[in-house]
Amino acid sequence: MTDLPPDLPRLRTLETWLALTLDEVRRAIVAAERREAERQRGIEARPAPPDWLIELGLNRDAPPVQVHVGGCWNAGKRTRGIRRDEALRGARRRGRS
């Protein structure tokens, strides 16, 4: 036994409401799929992390503070990606201080 109304006018009203609701759900699905595709494209287009990071001092005249391997969990906020030769120079300078 269903809880549907027995008369045709109310059944037609219910049918119209369900069709409108289904259209709304389908539009929401399309929008969610679009957002997910954009998110995936962003992940795929993200540049690879640098192999090396240099952590800069508090002001622009301060020497580098540390050299980190790329993706280091302990890299501070004042880091930028560098090439291997720059990392070696930075590590040598750091070792002398």
- Is pLDDT at 95 greater than 60 in this prediction? no
pTM, to two decimals: 0.54
Domain ranges of the chain: 7-46, 52-96
The predicted structure's pLDDT at residue 96: 57
Q: How do residues 50-71 score in pLDDT, each as one tens digit?
A: 899 988 888 878 888 888 888 8
Query: Distance between CA 7 and CA 5 in Å, rounded?
Result: 6
Tell me what the pLDDT averaged over the chain comes to. 88
The predicted structure's pLDDT at residue 22: 98
* CA distances (Å), origin 55, targets 20, 43, 71, 80, 85: 57, 25, 13, 7, 15
* Mean pLDDT in residue range 7-35: 97
- Most confident by average pLDDT, 9-13, 50-54, 72-76, 78-82: 9-13
Query: Distance between CA 83 and CA 70 in Å, rounded?
Result: 10
